[in-house]
């Protein structure tokens, strides 16, 4: 197609044709529409999701420029979110109470996870972050209160109904463990083989795509022990994304990784979000860094929500406990020593 005919397409038509990322890169002046179209014609099944990668491999942009562009776009959207505060919640806790071993872990928690945004949950270790995530996917039930996914209170559902709701979720558990005895390919294929009736050649295509998405093409034959810590997390992320969920939960995706790998995982979260617009919930110790990558933030402390809102506001909070969290100070209202 020539440039003149492309220009007559409406914005929506273009987005469908070039993909959101393609449009973004053209608008940023990094590539031309013709280059995007050329990259698309090189892609398997005209995959607009991975257009950025295709442009990199054709040498039209650098990986750095691609990531930088995605990050700037996310930043702009984060600022818009801070201004508009439009939070259509996809998940909602209403007065959730949970006791474990006689201790109150969630103490009347009310929270909202905005739809199609990145939410960061922070708080001291043992503060109930993982427990609250398990409530969101129905792995734990509250003693009282309700957990809403869209317009359904999942605490009232039976197992079969719950399984149906869970199909929209994917989770990277804190342990993030891969199956050691399985290859990378089989690890990523696992949820597809378990949960779907997909044929093997379809599975192969999906897994290969997921590997390209986490920048690990051609690594399917490796075994977990042959991978670095950062690569294990990326494979775990690929496994979480391969079912194409609409909500993805990441429990400490960067724990135990060095700062450079941590940064690369954050870029990967940003890249994934930009391509897919999944709702993402990230529990993180990477404070304050994680707030540079999230629209929305929730601070959990002593079983309660201490603050929730646009992450930019949380970083700038004057609340003494939150300030202490953000700055990692030993001195302050929270006594840690």
Only one residue has tokens 């317009």, namely 151
DSSP structure class, residue 281: E
Site stretch for Mg ion (CB under 5 A), options 46-54, 87-95, 124-132, 305-313: 124-132
Residue 140, SS3 per DSSP = coil
102-141 footprint of ligand ADP as x/- string (CB under 6 A)? ---x-----------------x-xxxxxxx----------
Nearest-approach distance from CB 133 to Mg ion, in angstroms: 8
Q: Distance between CA 106 and CA 144 in Å, rounded?
A: 10
Which segment (16-24, 50-58, 116-124, 126-134) binds Mg ion by CB under 5 A?
126-134
Q: How far is the CA of 170 from the CAs of 128, 236, 278, 318, in angstroms?
A: 20, 11, 10, 35
Q: Which of ligand ADP, Mg ion, none is residue 123 near (CB under 5 to 8 Å by kind)?
A: ligand ADP
| Distant-in-sequence, close-in-space partners of 241: CB < 8 Å, separation ≥ 6 | 170, 210, 213, 214, 248, 272, 276, 278
Q: Which of 263, 265, 267, 295 is nearest to 280 (CA)?
A: 295
Q: Which span (87-95, 121-129, 203-211, 269-277) binds Mg ion, by CB under 5 A?
A: 121-129
Of positions 48, 130, 168, 243, contacts Mg ion by CB under 5 A: 130
List binders of ligand ADP among 244-273 (CB under 6 A).
none
Between 124 and 165, CB nearer to ligand ADP: 124
Beta bridge partners of 307: 299
With respect to ligand ADP, which residue has the nearer C-beta, 54 or 105? Answer: 105
Q: How far is residue 145 from each of residues 4, 163, 202, 244, measured CA to CA in Å?
A: 58, 20, 42, 30
Shortest CB 189 distance to ligand ADP, Å: 29
Cβ distance to ligand ADP smaller for residue 149 or 300? 300
User: Residue 47's closest CA among 199, 205, 184?
Assistant: 205
Interacting span for Mg ion (CB under 5 A) from 46-54, 77-85, 122-130, 138-146 = 122-130
> Exposed/middle/buried for 335, CB within 10 Å: 0-12, 13-18, 19+?
exposed
DSSP string, 54-118: HHHHTTSS-HHHHHHHHHHHHHHHHHHHHHH----EEEEEEEEEEEETTEEEEEEEEEEEETTSE
Least distance from ligand ADP to the Cβ atom of residue 274, Å = 27
The answer to whether 217 and 56 are in contact (CB under 8 A) is no
Q: Which is nearer to Mg ion, 126 or 259 (CB)?
A: 126
132 forms part of the interface with Mg ion (CB under 5 A):
no
Shortest reach from residue 110's CB to ligand ADP, in Å: 17
Query: Of 134 and 275, which CB lies nearer to Mg ion in the complex structure?
Result: 134
Which listed option, ligand ADP, Mg ion, none, makes contact with residue 333 (CB within 5 to 8 Å by class)?
Answer: none
The length of the chain in residues reads: 337
The residues that touch Mg ion, with contacts defined as CB under 5 A, are: 129-130, 174
Interacting residue ranges for ligand ADP, rule: CB under 6 A: 100-101, 105, 123, 125-131
């Amino acid at each position: 197609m020539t440039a003149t005919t492309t220009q007559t397409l409406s914005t929506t038509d273009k987005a469908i044709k070039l993909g959101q990322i393609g449009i973004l890169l053209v608008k940023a002046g990094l590539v031309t529409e013709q280059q995007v179209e050329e990259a698309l014609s090189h892609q398997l099944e005209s995959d607009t999701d991975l257009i950025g990668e295709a442009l990199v491999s054709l040498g039209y942009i650098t990986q750095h420029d691609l990531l930088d562009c995605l990050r700037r776009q996310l930043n702009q959207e984060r600022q818009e979110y801070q201004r508009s505060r439009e939070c259509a919640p996809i998940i909602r806790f209403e007065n959730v109470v949970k006791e474990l071993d006689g201790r109150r872990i969630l103490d009347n928690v009310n929270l909202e996870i905005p739809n199609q945004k990145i939410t960061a949950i922070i708080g001291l270790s043992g503060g109930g972050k993982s427990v609250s995530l398990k409530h969101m996917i129905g792995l734990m039930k509250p003693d009282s209160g309700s957990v809403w996914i869209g317009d359904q209170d999942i605490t009232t559902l039976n197992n079969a109904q719950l399984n149906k709701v869970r199909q929209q979720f994917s989770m990277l558990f804190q342990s993030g463990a891969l199956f050691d005895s399985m290859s990378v390919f089989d690890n990523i294929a696992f949820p597809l083989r378990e949960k779907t009736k997909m044929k093997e050649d379809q599975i192969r295509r999906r897994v290969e795509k997921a590997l390209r998405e986490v920048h690990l093409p051609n690594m399917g034959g490796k075994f977990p022990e042959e991978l670095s810590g950062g690569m294990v997390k990326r494979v775990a992320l690929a496994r979480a994304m391969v079912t194409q969920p609409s909500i993805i939960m990441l429990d400490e995706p960067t724990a135990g990784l060095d700062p450079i790998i941590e940064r690369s995982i954050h870029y990967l979260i940003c890249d994934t979000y930009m391509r897919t617009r999944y709702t993402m919930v990230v529990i993180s110790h990477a404070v304050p860094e994680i707030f540079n990558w999230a629209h929305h933030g929730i601070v959990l402390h002593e079983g309660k929500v201490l603050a929730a809102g646009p992450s930019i506001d949380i970083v700038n909070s004057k609340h003494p406990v939150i300030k202490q969290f953000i700055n990692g100070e030993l001195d302050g209202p929270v006594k840690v020593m």
